Chain A
Amino acid sequence: MLYFIEQCLNGVQLGMLLFLLAAGLTLIFGIMDLVNLAHGSLYMIGAYFAATFAALTGSFVVGLVLALLATLVVGMALEVIAMRRLYGRDHLDHVLGTFGLILFFNELVRLLWGPAGMTLPLTTQMLTAVEVLPGVYYPLYRVVIIVSTLVVALLLYLLVMRTRLGMLIRAGASNREMVGALGINIKLLFTLVFGLGAALAGFAGMMQAPILTVQIGMGENILILAFVVIIIGGIGSIRGAFVAAIIVGLIDTVGRAFLPDLLRLFLSTNAASSAGPAISSMLIYMAMAAILVVRPEGLFPAAGR
């Protein structure tokens, strides 16, 4: 039972990371109609920056702040140099162009940091288990991840729903030509939105760096999960992304943890051991398939487009 709760918490944690990525992707797609496959690269860059700056400064927090700024700069530079030339083009162009960028970034990281990947060590304090529920112990750092990502999600909500910038972002998602015709510099708005998306992706990458991974190609694996989240939640919907991300995180984590045991009830041990991992990895895609059958537009499809 305790194991189950721990896996649920891990699932929520994964879900929150997925949400940050999916939210950024949704924002960028909603406003600029841009399909950005290189979004995962920003996640990777954030992790690498965090590991590097933390090692240089000796402080995890300082490293994090510097990495966030660096990722923001890289994101906005990327938008100005490459992305803005893709606006208004066919989605196939976006896919091809950003695919090329993924290859570029993966190789650039390999050139600058080497092929081996990096680690971001944590203080022993961060690794100690705290009592989150009566009798349930969970590592402090993982709690920090969940809490901080929830805070970021809340800030994002406030930004989009309660500020003028948020109004412009939402207005731009439905009619960007009119937003420009009313005096707003949409080019600048686009750069800011892209930067915001990059920062969200980078933040997710940074936060998971100490406990999961800092390696080349990490962006693509989670990017595809983020796509699954967007499909389940509904394209263009941040609320949908939030709900879907938690669902996907839980299904994937809890599923992988318990499915092999569940299979052992029905199949021989051998069959369960070989089929278990394979089927576990299919779970979220099966969930996605189910949504496509029942509700192809997603759980919370965005209105007004």
Chain B
Amino acid sequence: MAQSALLEVSGIETCYGLSQVLFGLSLAIAPGEMVTLMGRNGMGKTTTVRSLMGLTPAMAGSIRFEGQELRGLPAYRVAKLGIGLVPEGRQVFPNLTARENLVATAANRRNAANPWTLEKVCALFPRLSERLLSMASQLSGGEQQMLAIGRALMTNPRLLVLDEATEGLAPLIRAEIWQCLSRLKAQGQSILVIDKNVEALVRIADRHYLIERGKVVWTGTSRELAADPAVQHRYLGV
């Protein structure tokens, strides 16, 4: 990478139970970039996220974030260093209200000048502001997804990681979420998106990594990916 990378993953190998899932995966994200990791189900996308966060530790390789080695750190240390996770399945806390979900883990560890606040998150997701006092379990799928994104933003992360953030949502809600991600990118937020929705992501993201069987098999810019339907079909088609 020409400029100093925000995140640099080199050759990580990870097992899930007894079977190996990642076989030397590498990717990099520069500050301000939106980068995607795409591939079919079962190829290792979520395992990559879990290895990054330290939830399913990698056995080999290196994960450097702003120069600091993440491999081997417990999840809370990874998060504290500035990575905000929006996990697969949203995983909002069902027994807390929406407002509590946002506030419970909120933090501003780097004393950012313009930190995320409850008001700013509500401005980003107007729908949430009406539902702040409802229990998170009563929110719709789309609202829970927005809540999960807001919850991660409230930790003021340097890198936002979204795992299957549009899965199971209606097309209208999906479009809203892509729009909001564009807005975040425009504000300078670095984002890693794991998803399968090529058409939408080619329009808003900068670069893409395609993963197959635990390894990156193709990487390029949005323009390159859009211009190569064969590659799209080969690694992402049904």
Contact = CB atoms under 8 A, between A and B. Distances in A.
A164 to B, nearest CB: 6
Interface string B130-143: 00000001000000
A174 interface: yes
A164 B103 contact: yes
B95 A182 contact: no
A183 B137 contact: no
Interface string B114-149: 000000000000000000000001000000000000
A164 B104 contact: yes
B107 interface: yes
Interface in A125-183: 164, 167-168, 170-171, 173-175, 177-183
A178 B137 CA distance: 16
Given A181-B76, A181-B87, A184-B76, A174 B105 contact: no
A185 B78 CA distance: 11
Interface in A180-206: 180-186
Contact of A174 (B74, B75, B94): B94
B93 interface: yes
B105 A183 contact: yes
B91 interface: yes
A165 to B, nearest CB: 9
A303 interface: yes
A167 B79 CA distance: 18
Contacts of B85: 181-182
B137 A182 contact: no
Interface residues of B, number: 27
B29 interface: no
A58 interface: no
Given A181-B85, A304-B137, A171 B104 contact: yes
B60 interface: no
* Chain A binding surface, main DSSP class: helix
Contacts of B152: 182
Interface string B70-99: 000011101110001101000101111000
A34 B85 CA distance: 27
B94 A168 contact: no
Contacts of A179: 105
Contact of B93 (A164, A170, A180, A181): A170
A171 to B, nearest CB: 4
Given A171-B93, A182-B152, 17 more contacts: A167-B103, A170-B95, A170-B100, A171-B100, A171-B101, A174-B93, A177-B55, A177-B75, A180-B76, A180-B79, A182-B76, A182-B79, A182-B85, A182-B155, A183-B105, A303-B94, A304-B93
7 contacts: A168-B104, A170-B96, A171-B104, A181-B53, A181-B87, A304-B94, A304-B95
Interface of B: 53, 55, 74-76, 78-80, 84-85, 87, 91, 93-96, 100-101, 103-105, 107, 109, 137, 151-152, 155
